[in-house]
Structure 1
């Protein structure tokens, strides 16, 4: 299949009813609060209510000891300190936050505790006085300075988001970047395409390359070009500049007609892709790398290959990938039979899990940073959404087909990978049989895949593992080019990482720089000798089809 994919027309939103959408959200919130009420300790609630009442009296008298945290950007305006009314309002809010946090039940079930922490964060962040115009001094000043212009712009932004963004504030100006022009611009070509994926081969940017290529698997829940945002900030460019023959998977963005696609569908597609990469490079084997959920797919693929005696993978790398879901994580809070069964039924009915559903869910994991900051900026201050390439990529959502979504939920819910009980093609996948060298990364402030959970991968694999801990969070740790003076990582060069991640950390050393540099040294040592860089991309059997970033990246299928 070589024809260029047609982009379907944008969905008709003329029938959108914001009041109906709002009623549905209120109902869902009410149900969620009722279901989560047991997550708070009733005795603690009574105690903290009494303490809050005493603190309120002190606040009204003006002798409260509560201070405004200077690190809290919401209360940066000096009015919060200088004006007696606003100072008392801020103190009341911080006293309320303390009472809610202290009321979270201390249970033996970490999943319930995480759910309570998430709910507490949503409640306290949503009730911040900075979220309302008349209790936000910076927004009031802005309205006066602009003679009401900021309020008009804010209302316009709000109505636009109701119609076009499901009522969520936009994170980014979507018109500021164009894929293939501003983003994903590294030179390359599609050299293989099947129904599920495209394989992009990138033009070497040096005279010689290592003989053994690498195939990089992006997560199916996002488009691949976070690895190729812009020159100087591109992982793909960095690899190509340093002699790595890099091939990248660009998944098709599925619609309801692909609802039956599951793990096995994706693995069969990847096996075809490996054939193509090895034919093009004339190499007997290759290295592989999986980012985030792409690492789960990589594990299933290599487990299946090992079961059938296929030894064409020389080494593997994982970046912020979670394989053991028994380790406490924020996302693990969703591991509840009622929640997951409902999600599974919904995607089966629609044929897909819409990308915007996941995007909204992850936003509410960090409500201050990913919801209310943009609420204030877009609506109260009347500013346009920011122009930032990472946010542009993050808002370029992809769907999950119902079959793959169900398989991911099984992995999440039943945690079969650590026990070697993940079944593919009627066989069990046992990661301890993967004897090749592995490079595993985590990120210090990652809220989706905490580094200690990522570290667990080193204990599941059967070969030598090297773990590296990067600075920053889930996405920022990946877009982490050399040259950033704030970038750093922790390393511990043991080839047999201890079972306890904190023991590994205690013996690790912190170094300035990007983990890309350390990984490059590691992967070059496993990429074979050098040869002259190819003059053209593709091969006789797999000729170049379309220029990078390909065609699948532009698909905008329906959401059921």
Structure 2
């Protein structure tokens, strides 16, 4: 191990789960712009020096100098016209010169550390918006205009009008007509075997001759619909588990409306416990394997803490956490805008409305990665006049749900106080939670490029748990870390036998392996699933009979 490990690899995006939960607003960014303008007046000599430097650079660029290289991996400027055409080459060089000089102005100012971080964040947003690739003069746009005889312009205007009316003015990321839940998504056979106000519990038909005695209960995040685990057959995590002898149940959360504003974390924990007891009753198993993804991981951790306090932890055979935060301490420039007043305002807004709309969260996520999630589609949909892609993951990602106000408030407090990092810091269902006393074996997965739940925070979350812990770092992002079926030639993962207290030390000791982590998890879970027996094809039982066919009814509520 190195004495001083190098810095951890991190996503370049300032976005994470905190940003979307807090709900940053435009006024928060405009106040920083106002502060920057005042700073320019307070340091006139400093500002004049950088203005003169920029003027000199722009003058040389107009004379044909090319002092800057476009970022190699920046797809906005891949077209050779940006390099070979004198007009486009000068516009790109001028854009890069302005960005560099503004960054220097910030770094050499007398702003404090936090103010510089806020300034860099805001100016990066402005810089992305003002990129010359976002204008109708983009060479790709000019070429498409001539190739289509002007029809690309008309189609682009049509797409813009449609998004203004139907998508809150945001560019559509996916063609919604290409997919339908139950037709070409979420098609694995099964049935709803239990329903209450908060959830439907789906049991899937077995796909193997023998099955393990202990069932698997999948708990998805409350802000997304469950079928991320059951997209197309080749990507279906559910089918992978079924084909390998596991009994699979999944929770389909109800999409709440203002009537459900009082549903908080305790409400969801109680509902998950009820679903777990139904799994036990149907399968005649004393315990259940839990799997939680993202906020679903927080839910199953709180559930286990609640069960431990009631001395009923024996109901849980194992716990799997996929890209889940239990340690909520995350460093992010965007979070510098979230002071006490901002947090309280976010709580107040959601209580007034009854819910936090998933579209509002999606909008914040998009503006935290504007080049990938806004301007890319601005160019494709409006300037080129093309349809957005037909991509199942993007369809799921845009199939948003809402968060009840009470749960939103609980999540804000979770990010503010980081309660699970200390014993009895969190209370659910009237019982204190101490994760060190949760001695269930756990399997945690993080994504090295995850911009929503950064991998080092997921690693620290794993260290909060008691029991035997296993941690795997996938070479993917947030969603692709979950959807990582065998056969992907680009898939790799890292793992080390010992979990050290320092993520940097673990990272540099971890061995890299080729392939998906799914087989590793399957082997681990099968060892926690008891004996195998002949498959029972019937779904449900006398007390919990099969009702509607999967994917159920709650998944269709918008």
Same fold (TM over 0.5): yes
In the aligned structure 1, how far is the partner of 2:413 from the partner of 2:378?
35
**Aligned residue in 1 for 2:171:** 169
CA shift in 2, pair 1:231/1:82, >3 Å: same
CA shift in 2, pair 1:521/1:335, >3 Å: farther
CA shift in 2, pair 1:313/1:50, >3 Å: farther
328, 341, 352: which is aligned to 1:325?
Answer: 328
CA shift in 2, pair 1:30/1:195, >3 Å: closer
Is it true that 1:182 corresponds to 2:184 in the alignment?
yes
CA shift in 2, pair 1:150/1:521, >3 Å: same
Deviation at 1:262, TM superposition (A): 0.9
CA contact under 8 A between 1:328 and 1:453: conserved in structure 2? no
In the aligned structure 1, how far is the partner of 2:482 from the partner of 2:326?
18
- After superposition, give the CA deviation of every residue in 1:394-450 in whole Å (9 maximum; x if it has no partner): 110100011111111111112111123112233321111111111111101111111
- Which one scores higher on RCO, CA 8 angstroms, separation ≥ 6? 2
**Aligned residue in 1 for 2:29:** 32
**Aligned residue in 2 for 1:281:** 283
**Aligned residue in 2 for 1:159:** 161
237, 240, 243: which is aligned to 2:239?
Answer: 237
Deviates more, 1:534-543 or 1:219-228: 534-543
Deviation at 1:455, TM superposition (A): 0.4
In the aligned structure 1, how far is the partner of 2:379 from the partner of 2:274?
48
SS at match of 2:55: helix
In the aligned structure 2, how far is the partner of 1:322 from the partner of 1:432?
16
- After superposition, give the CA deviation of every residue in 1:520-543 in whole Å (9 maximum; x if it has no partner): 111111111111111111111111
CA contact under 8 A between 1:325 and 1:332: conserved in structure 2? no
Q: How many residues align?
A: 526
CA shift in 2, pair 1:459/1:406, >3 Å: same
Is it true that 1:87 corresponds to 2:92 in the alignment?
no
279, 297, 306: which is aligned to 1:295?
Answer: 297
Deviation at 1:47, TM superposition (A): 5.9
CA contact under 8 A between 1:317 and 1:439: conserved in structure 2? yes
CA shift in 2, pair 1:105/1:547, >3 Å: farther
- After superposition, give the CA deviation of every residue in 1:11-62 in whole Å (9 maximum; x if it has no partner): xxxxxxxxxxxxxxxxx64662224655898678666544433321221121
CA shift in 2, pair 1:512/1:75, >3 Å: same
In the aligned structure 2, how far is the partner of 1:240 from the partner of 1:123?
48
**Aligned residue in 1 for 2:13:** none
Task: Give the alignment's TM-score, normalised by structure 2.
Answer: 0.90
CA shift in 2, pair 1:114/1:442, >3 Å: farther
Deviates more, 1:425-434 or 1:364-373: 425-434
CA shift in 2, pair 1:342/1:50, >3 Å: farther
Output aligned runs, 1:349-388, within 5 Å.
349-388=352-391
**Aligned residue in 2 for 1:398:** 401
Gaps of 5+ in 1: 1-27
Deviation at 1:110, TM superposition (A): 8.4
Is it true that 1:468 corresponds to 2:472 in the alignment?
yes
CA shift in 2, pair 1:425/1:436, >3 Å: same
Deviation at 1:330, TM superposition (A): 6.4
451, 465, 468: which is aligned to 1:447?
Answer: 451
SS at match of 2:374: helix
Is it true that 1:132 corresponds to 2:135 in the alignment?
yes
Q: CA RMSD of the aligned region, Å?
A: 2.1
428, 434, 439: which is aligned to 1:435?
Answer: 439
- After superposition, give the CA deviation of every residue in 1:339-398 in whole Å (9 maximum; x if it has no partner): 222211111111100110011111111100000000000000000111100000011010
CA contact under 8 A between 1:52 and 1:99: conserved in structure 2? yes
SS at match of 1:463: coil
**Aligned residue in 2 for 1:408:** 411
**Aligned residue in 2 for 1:346:** 349
CA shift in 2, pair 1:313/1:335, >3 Å: farther
Is it true that 1:488 corresponds to 2:492 in the alignment?
yes
Gaps of 5+ in 2: 1-24
Output aligned runs, 1:130-279, within 5 Å.
130-134=133-137, 136-279=138-281
CA shift in 2, pair 1:191/1:33, >3 Å: same
Deviates more, 1:172-181 or 1:296-305: 296-305
CA shift in 2, pair 1:243/1:294, >3 Å: same
In the aligned structure 1, how far is the partner of 2:50 from the partner of 2:321?
44
- After superposition, give the CA deviation of every residue in 1:117-141 in whole Å (9 maximum; x if it has no partner): 442331111111111102x111011
- After superposition, give the CA deviation of every residue in 1:154-181 in whole Å (9 maximum; x if it has no partner): 0000000000000000000111100011
- After superposition, give the CA deviation of every residue in 1:142-164 in whole Å (9 maximum; x if it has no partner): 11111110000000000000000
CA contact under 8 A between 1:329 and 1:450: conserved in structure 2? no
CA contact under 8 A between 1:201 and 1:538: conserved in structure 2? yes
In the aligned structure 2, how far is the partner of 1:480 from the partner of 1:113?
38
SS at match of 1:531: strand
SS at match of 1:250: strand
